[in-house]
Structure 1
Amino acid sequence: MFSEIALRYDLLNRLLSAGVDRSWRVAAVKAALEQNPRRILDLATGTGDMALLLKRLAPQAEVVGADFAPPMLELARQKAQKLGLEIPFVEADALNLPFPDRHFEAITIAFGFRNFADYTQALAELYRVMAPGGRLCILEFPPPPQGGLGALYRFYFTRVLPWVGGLVSGNPAAYRYLPASVECFPTPPTLAGMMNQAGFQTRYRLFTGGIAALHIGQKLEAP
């Protein structure tokens, strides 16, 4: 599914979020870079937007982008080449990462954690490849908030977004999957609890009335 929508993925991200997703990504990247990490993994990198932003803001750091959809990775490589940025983009399974223990000092995941088949296993892998003192930043869509804004958002997410996304991408099923996966995703407190159970000391903040959430997990001790 993700391979099929790769060519229209960036356009639709900007269109369907009215560009607001850029500010969310910047906030996540700034949080990831607060401790001046030397080795950074952007997991579920897609077409590489987060990895490119990380490398631009921290040119001295080694940034690796990883994803399981080869067409997405190819677009990410093309974008990095055009910008003159050296970033290896590798095919990887989030539940069985091809990286050594305690390797990365920061890991970012923007709107990809929701798609992992097993959240507990994914967090265990992230903890494994994270260096002691390292930081995990997960930017994700939680279930729609309560109240008027939540009702409006749910209408847009379930009615407007699938129609526009399907029209532009040619794959309506992919954009029906998005709101369905968001509705089933853990609430921010629940995800924070899962991260804590995995060994991260976690806090989170909400953006745009609760439409997006940034969870920041700190690995305080060696496993």
Structure 2
Amino acid sequence: MTDRDSLSGDLFADLAGPCDRRIEEAYARQWGGPVAGVDEAGRGPWAGPVVTAAVILTDAPLPAGLTDSKQVGPAAREAMYEAICRDHVVALASASVARIDAMNIRAATLWAMARAVAALAVPPVGVLVDGRDVPPDCRARGLRGAALVKGDSRVAAIAAASIVAKVTRDRMMEVAARHHPEYGFERHRGYGTADHAARLAQHGPCPLHRRSFRPIREMLAGRG
């Protein structure tokens, strides 16, 4: 039985709602301590790091409209980011392109998630992770864990982690754009858009491109 299953299906259905604190509160009661919401930004792009965030909510109010970062516009995300970092317990970690290529994107993401959790100023007893995987390193440290599909749109702590990870990674890609202006990273953030593909075909990959990803790998093979 997984930790996700240890809350009854009926209870979880009752709790499910847009970014509701009650889900993590139920796990906190069951597990006997604070729980951290964990999410990532940048798992799919062709370039740049993957960034992860872990958030433990305090009693402070949540930003109005808090939900999955993909559903929030840039200005609102920035405002939410500032409020979350000011009022709640937050930690960040990232996996570099070199680590992604060495480990694969899934393993590198789980590695970075565990590092973000370990960096929290308040140690959690468990983690709620968006998606289908709980980082093995969290399990190894004795933490409880539950992976919740679409958790970033239902669980407030995961939504907060989603916002923090997304804003942080966007800022990192804006810096990358200043070093590699020919790729337009400030617009597509490294994702596989038509504009990115055209620029990549013209200029070839830079050090921020993930060689283990098929479009980059095939381009390099073709150039070889």
Same structural fold, with TM-score higher than 0.5 when normalized by the shorter chain: no
Higher relative contact order (CA 8 A, sep 6+): 2
Structure having the higher Rg: 2
Richer in strand (by share): 1
Q: TM-score of the superposition, structure 1-length normalised? A: 0.31
TM-score calculated relative to the size of structure 2 = 0.31
